[in-house]
Structure formats: C-alpha cells, structure tokens
C-alpha cells in the first residue's frame, strides 16, 4: 500500500504505513528527510501534549511546512492531504490508540 492518497480511494488513518516502515515511499528529498522524526509511542499523555512533542521534534530537526494532527484509527484521510503516520498515543489504560500524523495540503507539495 502506498502512503500517499492519489487515486481518491478512502483510506483510514490506521491503514497508513509508519514513517519508519519499509512501506514508506518518499517521492523527493524533503519526504526522505522526514524519517528523522522517527516513530513515537506515547502512553498516559494527552493527544495535544503528544502533538506538541512532535512539533518540538520538527522544529529541532528543521522540518517546515508540515502540521501535526491526531485521529481515531477508523477516521478517513481527506483526499486533499499528503499524510504520514508518525506515532500513536494512548491516553488511559484500556483506551484506543489515537494516530499521530503529519500533513500538508497537496497544493503545497514540493517539486
């Protein structure tokens, strides 16, 4: 499965490959450089705190032009976004994991 949404099919956030997996298929140097963010597992942390942690990593590694978000695993990825899964967070024991991802609009894609 490709990590990009180019054919208009409905892809769930849980179906996205992780940014560090072999299924991650960067198309340019900018997307290759995103691997520096790694993959994050958070436990007993709020989703916004986890997002802030990833934003800090992005600033520290000079990753610009991308935003951080979270979603339930069954949420559908919007067709107009380029999305990469960078982690997950479980707020309480017994809760489902929330998917952490970075995204930007396809119209801002680098050449």
Per-residue pLDDT at 56: 95
Per-residue pLDDT at 25: 80
Q: pLDDT tier at 108 (50, 70, 90 boundaries)?
A: low
Cα–Cα dist 49/33, whole Å: 24
Q: Quick: pLDDT tens for 36-93.
A: 898 999 999 999 999 999 999 999 999 999 999 999 988 999 888 889 999 999 999 9
The token duo for 16 is 């996205």
Contact 89, 13 (CB under 8 A): no
Per-residue pLDDT at 6: 42
Contact 84, 19 (CB under 8 A): yes
Instruction: Report which of residues 58 and 15 the model is more confident about.
Output: 58
Per-residue pLDDT at 46: 95
């Amino acid at each position: 499965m490709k990590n990009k949404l180019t054919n208009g099919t409905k892809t769930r956030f849980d179906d996205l490959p992780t940014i560090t997996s072999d299924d991650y298929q960067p198309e340019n140097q900018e997307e290759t450089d995103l691997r520096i963010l790694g993959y994050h597992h958070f436990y007993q942390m709020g989703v916004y705190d986890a997002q802030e942690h990833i934003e800090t990593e992005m600033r520290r590694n000079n990753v610009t032009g991308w935003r951080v978000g979270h979603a339930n695993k069954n949420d559908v990825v919007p067709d107009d976004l380029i999305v990469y899964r960078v982690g997950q967070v479980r707020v309480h024991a017994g809760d489902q994991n929330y998917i952490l991802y970075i995204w930007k609009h396809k119209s801002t894609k680098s050449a």
